[in-house]
Amino acid sequence: MTHEGGCFCGKLRYRAEGRPLRVMHCHCTICRRVTGAPVVTWITFPTKGLSWPKGEPARLKSTASATRYFCAGCGTHLVFVIDGAEELDVTVASLDHPEAAKPEHHIFVTTRVPWLQLSDGLPEYVDWGPDL
């Protein structure tokens, strides 16, 4: 299974091989700040399956143990990874076919902006969610 996507300006293209492990909406304050959006939807892939057919992403250490990849040209936020982890998260909105990645749950809901109404019926977690 292959998923492809890229940034707004086209300088970066990525390819993620392997079965996605999960898809979730994150309401944490760090995702909010680094993207400028109230919630960020992520799809999780095996780290070893990610490659960059075009360009090399810029990196931001967002915490002591996590790194985020983005485009230095247009600012599109693409990847979150806990340093050394065997899986990483890719922004669903940067996929060529975001409609194919259906969210399964919400995480870090205690910091959700209160005016954002959730009526999708998906499970909500106060932390990283199931399996983590």
Residues that bind Zn ion (CB under 5 A): 7, 9, 11, 26, 28, 31, 71, 73-74
Quickly count helices (H) and strands (E) in the chain: 1, 10
Positive or negative: CA dihedral 67, 105, 27, 40? positive
| Residue at 102: amino acid letter | K
DSSP at 42: E
User: At closest approach, how far in Å is the CB of 68 from Zn ion?
Assistant: 10
Asked if 76 and 82 count as a contact pair (C-beta separation under 8 A), the reply is: no
* Of 31 and 101, CB closest to Zn ion: 31
* Of 71 and 109, CB closest to Zn ion: 71
* Of 1 and 126, CB closest to Zn ion: 126
User: At closest approach, how far in Å is the CB of 17 from Zn ion?
Assistant: 22
User: At closest approach, how far in Å is the CB of 28 from Zn ion?
Assistant: 3
Helices (H), the chain: 29-35
Token output for 75: 């600012």
* Of 11 and 15, CB closest to Zn ion: 11
User: At closest approach, how far in Å is the CB of 43 from Zn ion?
Assistant: 13
